[in-house]
Structure 1
Amino acid sequence: MPDRIVFGAAALPEPERGWLEAVERLPIESVWQGGHILPPTGTGEVITRLALMTAWTERVRVGTSILVLPLYQPVVVAKQLADLDARSGGRVSVGVGVGGEFPLEFASVGVPIAERGARTDEAMTLLRKLWQGDEVSHHGKFFDVDNVTLRPVAPPPGDRMATSGQLGGPPFLVSGRKAPAMRRAARLGDGWMPYLMSPNAYARSVETINAEAAATGRDLDGFEWMMYVYCSVRRDGDQARADVASFLGGAYGDKPSAMLDRIAPAGTPEQVAARLQEYVDVGVRHIIISPATHENTLEVVQLAAEEVLPRLTLPTAPPAPAGSGSPVAAASGTVSP
């Protein structure tokens, strides 16, 4: 994988065809959206949103940010994701996490919230097996499968966008902020995609993931170092900072403004570039711009793509690789919940 800096964008507040068409004309390489089953507000569910994004884009990579995997029956979601990957021309990526901020979701689908980490580990392992295309039998703590073969949807003749999907299925980008998520990324993931994390904290997470990979004999060649960044970019830096304070103040109002400033860059293109450069310097290579504003999100993404991205530069010494061994073999590992 080439060592370069790329930008993605979060399709907030909901995927919208015109917005996605405009973003595809920008130097943006990916679009992302999450979603809950029982959110406290009227927002969409993640697989539904992913389906809309695959249908309304042609070029960019499309991903979940994030899929709360323990809420889903793995055979069902494996089929859904494989079909969307095939119909989109192999453009799907799966940002995955354990959730937990809405306990009612877990109770409503019969999943004990204390099991969410272990269920996520086992589900990721099972999805990997199903996406290989071979007959699968799996007998774990939470899931039992006997002699099943998952076949993605066959693209209709003449559909230029559709293929058989990515060999082995879409990549897993593990999200989170705590040590179990880092261990999950090192053992089971194809990349690391945390959120609300300062550059210093990201640097520590890189060390943790590298150490865990080395301990398990996993080679992280091709591993994706990503960051989901809430931010606002405006010509008027004061407006951008007001955007972030308003957007994150309700959800993260317990955090002082100085902390929000460390984890949610805001300002002019020059100011935001300086802040994002700190992430690049500690190893981030794919930055997902999540507009931290309630209005005109396209302006934030456009300024980021056209005036922030060109200002970022790779450090002279890239982060050292870790470990050795096979990512496929590591996919059978287990991470503490």
Structure 2
Amino acid sequence: MSDERIIFGAAAIPEPDRDWLAAAERLPIASVWQGGHVLPPSATGEAITRLALLTAWTERVRVGTAVLQLPLYQPVIAAKQLADLDARSGGRVSVGIGVGGEFRTEFDAVGVPVGERGPRTDEAMRVLRTLWRGGPVAHHGRFFRFDDVELRPVRPPGEDGPGMRPGGPPLLVSGRKRPAMRRAARLGDGWMPYLMSPEAYARSVAAVREEADAAGRDLAGFEWMLYLYCSVRRDGDRARDDVAGFLGGAYGGRPEAMLDRIAPAGTPDEVAARLQRYVDAGVRHFVIAPAAHAGTLEVVRLAAEEVLPRLTIPAPASTGAAS
């Protein structure tokens, strides 16, 4: 496509901060993201609460959940919350969705069997879209049922119209396994995996396209995204130390070579070379998640100002011999 381009977003980790977000909005980034759990083992935020802060503390960029553990939520309530935030933000909300399962106690506490998280997520996505369609609607599913209900998003003061954009926010599916790829192909507006090598991302693109073909779905307008842990520093060794300290323990003490395949680190030149491989594999929207305990805005700034300009979309493959 002639208008195809590469864009960067940023994950506001560890927590949304008003000054950090204001500084990030001055950078050449298109989006900011935050996720969360309901009952994680540490004192961290919940996804929709964090999204509300992103909505309130930004003016220009797209804001999204990366990710919302959808099976933990009653989808009618989530639909209303997300619709209101989209309306109040001027249509800037996006909803990254995952099935969760890392913390079984969350599922036990809300009365959702962890083994049902996949089908519940699929049905909840359909519920969101049904309610966001507008007008009186009904849904009769395995987990959720309602008749003749209508979701009415709030209207920002002084504005006419429905507030929320028609059809509601885009739903972007996260994950790393085939069921998530199937969900993205059949129900999602985009694919946003994490902790993937360029080779694995290329395979996931092929799988999503295969699943879409099987479902008879045209993926025009579909978003090819990646939530990417990384560190960019002037001192490449410091960047590599960032990633090792940030991710090494959390992901089973993986050796540096393995971390480097899924979490690029180094100077702007070094990281650009790694990210170009993801672009070649199909990524068009990177969410840069600083894998560092300090100086995260510097990581985002170097990524946006010095890595992004180095990336190029590969030329389309020739479809025939020259005449």
* TM-score range normalised by the length of the shorter chain: over 0.9
Q: 1:3: which partner in 2? A: 4
User: Aligned pair 1:24/2:28, yes or no?
Assistant: no
2:64 partner SS: strand
Alignment of 1:56-135 (within 5 A): 56-135=57-136
Range 246-255 or range 265-274, more displaced: 246-255
User: Aligned pair 1:291/2:286, yes or no?
Assistant: no
Q: What code does the residue aligned with 2:93 have? A: V
Superposition RMSD in Å:
1.6
User: Aligned pair 1:264/2:263, yes or no?
Assistant: yes
Q: Give 5+ residue unaligned stretches, structure 2.
A: none
Alignment TM-score, normalising by the size of structure 1: 0.92
**Greater length-normalized contact order (CA 8 Å, ≥ 6 residues apart):** 1
1:236 and 1:221, CA in 2 relative to 1: closer, same or farther beyond 3 A? same
Q: CA deviation at 1:158?
A: 6.2
Q: CA deviation at 1:257?
A: 1.8
User: Aligned pair 1:144/2:141, yes or no?
Assistant: no
Paired with 2:129 and 2:203, the residues of 1 have a C-alpha distance of: 28
Structure 1, residues 261-308: CA drift from partner, whole Å, max 9, x if none? 000000000000000000000110000000000001000000000000
Q: 1:220: which partner in 2? A: 219
2:36 partner SS: coil
Alignment of 1:162-201 (within 5 A): 164-201=163-200
1:278 partner SS: helix
Q: 1:12: which partner in 2? A: 13
Q: 1:334: which partner in 2? A: none
The answer on whether the counterparts of 1:186 and 1:209 sit within 8 Å (CA) in structure 2 is yes
Q: 1:241: which partner in 2? A: 240
The answer on whether the counterparts of 1:277 and 1:312 sit within 8 Å (CA) in structure 2 is yes
Paired with 2:211 and 2:50, the residues of 1 have a C-alpha distance of: 33
Paired with 1:107 and 1:260, the residues of 2 have a C-alpha distance of: 32
Among all aligned residue pairs of Structure 1 and Structure 2, give the percentage whose two residues are the same amino acid: 74
Q: What code does the residue aligned with 1:286 have? A: H
1:218 partner SS: coil
Structure 1, residues 140-177: CA drift from partner, whole Å, max 9, x if none? 10001111000001211169xx9712210000110000
The answer on whether the counterparts of 1:269 and 1:308 sit within 8 Å (CA) in structure 2 is yes
Structure 1, residues 24-71: CA drift from partner, whole Å, max 9, x if none? 000000000000101111110000000000000000000000000000
Runs of 4+ residues over 4 Å off in structure 1 = none
Paired with 1:308 and 1:319, the residues of 2 have a C-alpha distance of: 28
1:34 partner SS: strand
User: Aligned pair 1:317/2:313, yes or no?
Assistant: no
Q: CA deviation at 1:76?
A: 0.1
The answer on whether the counterparts of 1:174 and 1:192 sit within 8 Å (CA) in structure 2 is yes
Q: 1:210: which partner in 2? A: 209
Q: 1:250: which partner in 2? A: 249
The answer on whether the counterparts of 2:230 and 2:288 sit within 8 Å (CA) in structure 1 is yes
The answer on whether the counterparts of 1:283 and 1:319 sit within 8 Å (CA) in structure 2 is no
